[in-house]
Amino acid sequence: MIPVPSGVRVWLAVGHTDMRRGMNGLALQVQEALGRDPHAGDLYVFRGKRGDLLKILWHDGLGMSLYAKRLERGRFLWPTTAGDAAPISAAQLAYMLDGIDWRNPQLTYRPQAAG
């Protein structure tokens, strides 16, 4: 898991992104298409067209990091909102990275008996 500090903002780049892009290409997309500063310390999450690959761009104050996660089965849920970027919380990002519906997380197991 990415060591996300408390208070960091997480932005989903709405739509599909060319997953061949690297760190510099995604930083340029943040700057030009989203109109945000890629060096401000926020996390920017990008999803590919197939939906099974995510890339996360983060500048921690010392340097730029690029994280990638691919699901072996299923797809990452993605918003269909209008606009360029959608904010989510760090907890919602953790759900998303685990393949859980981050929009409405539900408890999947409840113990029936103690012990």
Interval 61-91: pLDDT, tens: 899 999 999 988 888 888 877 778 889 988 8
The dihedral through the CA atoms of 10, 13, 15, 21 has a sign that is negative
d(CA 67, CA 78): 18
Query: Does domain 10-98 correspond to CATH entry 2.60.40?
Result: no
How much is the pLDDT for 77?
A: 84
pTM to 2 decimal places: 0.83
Residues of the chain with pLDDT under 50: none
Q: CA 51: distance to chain centroid? A: 12
How much is the pLDDT for 108?
A: 58
The domain limits of the chain are 10-98
Which residue matches tokens 């197939």?
50
